[in-house]
Amino acid sequence: MIYSLASPQASEVYREVATADTHSVFIAGGPHPSARPNEVLKHFDFVVLGEGEQTLPELINALRNGEGVDRVRGIAFKSSNGIHQTDRRPYADLNDYPPFVKNLRAPIEISRGCPNSCKYCQTPRLFGRKMRHRSAATINFYSSYISDVRFISPNAFAYGSDGRNLALDRIIELITSLRGRVYFGTFPSEVRPEFVTDELLEVIKERCANTAIHIGAQSGSDAVLTEVHRGHTRCDVEVALETCRAYDLTPVVDFIFGLPTETKADQRASLELIDSIVAAGGRVRAHYFTPLPGTPYEAEKPCPVSTEVKKKLGKLARDGKVTGRWEPSRGYIKRNDLKQMR
């Protein structure tokens, strides 16, 4: 039985495995097991560390054939000497693996990795700091299986680039080669604000079907943006918003509340920016900070979300301007819970 799990799922999955009445080999993969293999191996037999395209089939074949699993790179398992981790496996070439089974309607993963170092994010820790891209020809081939062509990427507008500089020619090559209705720069691939340019939005407006651009702002406070190593400023966000409006593309902007060093003044700065977004016809997606394993913030405690934030976002949500959750949910795992799991 194979599980890919994230932190909010962990306690539920552990209970399911503990009460299973099957004679199974339990294999776990995903961001939480990759960051906390010792914890996960209290419940599972094997952990696939990082990407699983090559590792998981090799592990399954080794188990089926009765071969030594210590030759499979990129796994962790229990041994007589404790927890054993095999050699790290190189990152996968996305062109070597299909983004989905043929005829399955799903977004196409076009990029992995991120050169940025946001303290709350698992992406560069799991997939590396160098961006890898599926080729335009390969993406074009798989786009023929779906009518609405959507993408998965840490930053869709960084396609073809090093993740720090826009590669407009590569994006144009991709967009112009695709079949079907193309949605680029929209969910489930938000974009970084500094990548939102006139030249790119002109291409999107002409070639793509989306009427919105999803932008990751995360905070309206420059102090918070600097602290989390976000790599852009509030001004970058404001410029991106104006650029979207100039091309009649609705900005849908992500914010995180409860970041560890966030003050009431920082939260107020985010609310002010949110006010300007919705006043100009944009929309907001609000999120509550969750400390994720393997990140610099994994042991940090979320700061309280002010009454002002709750009231303001609640009102905007009733008006259909804001979606999301800006307070802890039932699935949220507190630090004490994680300690008990370990």
Burial of 44 (0-12, 13-18, 19+ CB in 10 A): buried
> What is residue 169's predicted lDDT score, i.e. its pLDDT?
97
Peptide bond into 188 cis (omega under 30): yes
244 contact partners, CB below 8 Å, separation of at least 6: 196, 201, 213, 215, 250, 251, 282
The arithmetic mean of pLDDT across residues 251-277, rounded, is 97
> What is residue 341's predicted lDDT score, i.e. its pLDDT?
30
Q: Give the position of tokens 């081939």.
A: 141
> What is residue 146's predicted lDDT score, i.e. its pLDDT?
87
Task: Report the distance separating Cα 108 and Cα 135, nearest Å.
Answer: 12
CATH number of 96-341: 3.80.30.20
pLDDT confidence band for 340 (50 / 70 / 90)? very low
> What is residue 334's predicted lDDT score, i.e. its pLDDT?
45
Task: Report the distance separating Cα 277 and Cα 208, nearest Å.
Answer: 23
> What is residue 336's predicted lDDT score, i.e. its pLDDT?
39
Two structure tokens written together for 56: 């998981």
Task: Report the distance separating Cα 212 and Cα 210, nearest Å.
Answer: 6
Task: Report the distance separating Cα 334 and Cα 228, nearest Å.
Answer: 20
Is 30's pLDDT higher than 80?
yes
The arithmetic mean of pLDDT across residues 265-287, rounded, is 97
Is 342's pLDDT higher than 50?
no
DSSP label of 247: T
Give the count of alpha carbons within 13 A of 257, CB side only.
27
**If you write DSSP's letter for every residue of 2-34 in order, what string do you get?**
EEE--GGGHHHHHHHHHT--S----EEESHHHH
Q: Which of 17-21, 74-78, 156-160, 256-260 has the lowest mean pLDDT?
A: 17-21
Q: Where are the domains of the chain?
A: 2-85, 96-341
For 318-337, the pLDDT digits (tens) are 999 999 999 886 544 444 33
